[in-house]
Amino acid sequence: MSAPPFWISARFGIRRGVHITDIEVREIRLPLKEPFRISSGAVTERRILLVRIVDADGCTAWAECVAGEQPNYSADTVDTSWLALSQWFGPRLLGTQVDRATEVDALLAKGVHGHRMARATLEMAMWGLQAKRSGIPLSQLLGGTRADLEVGISIGIQDSPAALVERARAALASGYRRIKMKIEPGSDVEHVAAVRSALGPAAPLMVDANNAYSLDDTATLQRLDDFDLMMIEQPLDHEDIVRHAALQRVLRTPLCLDESITSLDRAHDMITLRAGRIVNIKPGRVGGLSAAIAIHDLCESHAIPVWCGGMLESGIGRAYNVALASLPNFSIAGDISPSARYWERDIVSPEWTMTDGMMSVPSAPGIGVSVDADRIDDLTVRTRMLHR
Ligand code: OSB
Ligand code: MG
């Protein structure tokens, strides 16, 4: 007897596993409206890997790889992830029947070091597929409880304090609930002081250093305590936990770790050593949504708030971030800016929008937005098809 079609198994809850038959890996180019500069590098056009998975019933899901072009945020890049997806993780997923998306992380991680952004891409696609097959929104499948999310913005390093003030003022006026300013040595205390004095004591401000400092800079970082920031994100090395703990002991401002939290174990280390009081969660950085949820739950049990970070995603990656950020302990506005902040035109419809500083969590099944396949075709620079 042949298997029932997926809509029947979804409706009647027949569990018989998902078998992926095809994986398409694509690279697209999507120019940013304006260059984005952080302490470790700048980007003007995003090279973005997308995957599309197809199961034996013909059900499909898209997901996005958040790796950048250069290995400055993570060792993972567009090109290493392309290799990892097409050589290792794609074939492994094609060769295995899985019952639930929660099994994919272990499947892809077995015997593997690193390449979390590539693993996360397929892991997220499987969550998107499971939500679609089950006829429920991804947020519901993940355990989300919020219908509307507070939106934050991440402002790249600006040439002068005045330019940063202008950007931050515009962001506040357009409704953003949290304003993150990128800093580096030489563009820090003076820039932040100018913004605080221009925007007033109530403005929800924070900074992100992307590893640009060392403990030798402790005195500079202590001066940031004067500005009542919500947090200082990842001041020290991308692999460091212990020095962040030493720094946190002499700072009033909470530290938030981003790059250093690559797994549930690292989050546990941070909490145990008191190396930070807040965690930025990005599913791509930790190998997918299962690990992201596990970190969310661990932090919740220790009263550590979390928020959803961003990697300049297109509308596809944003869908996964938004669904994740609807979980209860995401109590701080995420870096989930609307499509128009990044792109002239996004690759999903409807585009992601913000009203009064809030973004709605989609209620449609699956990732909740439709993917513009024609536009993706127009933007594609290479495609790899993998079959069972
Ligand atoms: O550190 O959070 C970061 C973008 C690229 C690499 C690292 C980071 C960022 C951002 C962008 O801050 C946030 C966004 O997607 O809007
Ligand atoms: Mg960061």
pLDDT tens digits for range 206-244: 999 999 999 999 999 999 999 999 999 999 999 999 999
Q: What is the pLDDT of residues 79-127, one digit of tens each?
A: 999 999 999 999 999 989 999 999 999 999 999 999 999 999 999 999 9
What is the number of the ligand 1 atom nearest to the C-alpha of 259?
Answer: 1
Distance 147 CA to ligand 2 centre (A): 25
Sign of CA pseudo-dihedral 64, 70, 75, 78: positive
**Residue 13: pLDDT above 50?**
no
Q: What is the pLDDT of residues 295-333, one digit of tens each?
A: 999 999 999 999 999 999 999 999 999 999 999 999 999
Which of 335, 354, 359 is the pocket-test mutation for ligand 1 (most atoms within 8 Å of CB)? Answer: 335
Q: Give the three-state DSSP class for 284.
A: helix
pLDDT score of 90 = 98
What is the rounded CA–CA span in Å between residue 357 and residue 337?
9
What is the rounded CA–CA span in Å between residue 48 and residue 29?
6
Which of 184, 312, 318, 337 is the pocket-test mutation for ligand 1 (most atoms within 8 Å of CB)? Answer: 312
Cβ atoms 334, 282 nearer than 8 A = no
> Closest-lying ligand to the alpha carbon of 318?
1
48, 51, 85, 129, 313 from 30: Cα distances, Å: 7, 16, 21, 25, 10
Nearest CA to ligand 1 atom 4: 311
pLDDT score of 17 = 84
Distance 86 CA to ligand 2 centre (A): 28
Percentage of the residues of the chain whose pLDDT score is greater than 70: 96
Contacts of 106 (CB under 8 A, 6+ apart): none
Query: What is the identity of the amino acid at 260?
Result: S
Residue 309's closest CA among 353, 354, 341, 278? 278
Tell me the three-class secondary structure of 164-191, residue by residue: HHHHHHHHHHCCCCEEEEECECCECHHH
What is the rounded CA–CA span in Å between residue 96 and residue 388?
10
Q: What is the pLDDT of residues 151-208, one digit of tens each?
A: 999 999 999 999 999 999 999 999 999 999 999 999 999 999 999 999 999 999 999 9
Cβ atoms 29, 380 nearer than 8 A = no
Nearest CA to ligand 1 atom 13: 310
Q: Where does 174-288 have alpha helices with state H?
A: 189-199, 218-223, 242-249, 264-273, 283-286
Nearest CA to ligand 1 atom 9: 311
Burial degree of 290 (CB within 10 A; 0-12, 13-18, 19+): buried
What is the rounded CA–CA span in Å between residue 63 and residue 125?
5
Per-residue DSSP letter, 89: I
Residues at CB less than 6 angstroms from ligand 1: 38, 73, 154, 208, 210, 258, 309-312, 335, 337
What is the rounded CA–CA span in Å between residue 228 and residue 205?
8
Q: Locate 138 and state its tokens.
A: 């991804």
Distance 182 CA to ligand 2 centre (A): 9
Nearest CA to ligand 1 atom 6: 311
> Closest-lying ligand to the alpha carbon of 284?
1
**Residue 7: pLDDT above 90?**
no
Distance 115 CA to ligand 2 centre (A): 19
CATH architecture of 141-371: Alpha-Beta Barrel (3.20)
Distance 321 CA to ligand 1 centre (A): 13
What is the rounded CA–CA span in Å between residue 3 and residue 12?
13
Distance 233 CA to ligand 2 centre (A): 6
Q: For the CA atoms of 125, 130, 135, 139, what is the dihedral angle to 10 degrees?
A: -70
Chain position carrying tokens 């938004």: 322
Q: Give the three-state DSSP class for 24.
A: strand
Question: Any idea where the domains of the chain sit in the sequence?
Answer: 18-135+372-387, 141-371
> Closest-lying ligand to the alpha carbon of 72?
1
Share the mean pLDDT of the chain: 96
pLDDT score of 15 = 53
User: What's the fold here for domain 18-135+372-387?
Assistant: Enolase-like; domain 1 (3.30.390)
pLDDT confidence band for 2 (50 / 70 / 90): very low
- pTM for the model: 0.95
Q: Say yes or no: do domains 18-135+372-387 and 141-371 share a fold.
A: no
| Residue 182 appears among annotated catalytic residues | yes
> Closest-lying ligand to the alpha carbon of 181?
1
pLDDT confidence band for 11 (50 / 70 / 90): very low
Residue 355 has φ and ψ, to the nearest 5°, of -125, 120
**Residue 144: pLDDT above 80?**
yes
| Residue 180 appears among annotated catalytic residues | no
Per-residue DSSP letter, 137: B
